[in-house]
Amino acid sequence: MKLLATGNHPYTSSMTEKGQVTIPVHIRRLLGLSRRDRVAFLVREGIVQIAPARSVVAQTAGMLRHEGVALSPRAEKAAAEEAMAEEAEHPRRD
């Protein structure tokens, strides 16, 4: 893990009574954060990481993209039925 610091000291921030902290401007710029952006806190083995929280739409955009030719609804249904029949004949043994 690379520690970003000024000189030999890590960036620090004080916590308010409400548990709020200010993310130093250098870190906000590094993460591309703007006012009102959401952040995610990831905890792994006692270390907390902060990252921009992306919406589900942004995180999943393009996941189902297919480079081939799209099937017609009729062809898609036929392919699904064929796959189900194949699976019924040869069930997986997980």
Rounded to whole angstroms, the Cα distance separating 57 from 30 reads 23
Mean pLDDT over the full length of the chain: 83
- Is 73 a member of any domain? no
Cβ-contact 23, 50 below 8 angstroms:
yes
Confirm whether pTM is higher than 0.85: no
- Is 92 a member of any domain? no
Beta bridge partners of 9: 6
- Is 69 a member of any domain? no
What token pair was written down for 73? 């609804």
Mapped onto helix, strand or coil, the DSSP state of residue 25 is helix
pLDDT tens, residue by residue, 40-67: 998 999 999 999 987 766 666 666 777 7
Of 54 and 85, which is predicted with more confidence? 85
Give the distance from CA 20 to its chain's centroid.
24
What CATH number did the domain enclosing 43 receive? 2.10.260.10
Query: What residue type is assigned to position 38 of the chain?
Result: R
Of 73 and 68, which is predicted with more confidence? 73
State yes or no: pLDDT of 37 exceeds 70: yes
- Is 85 a member of any domain? no
Of 25 and 70, which is predicted with more confidence? 25
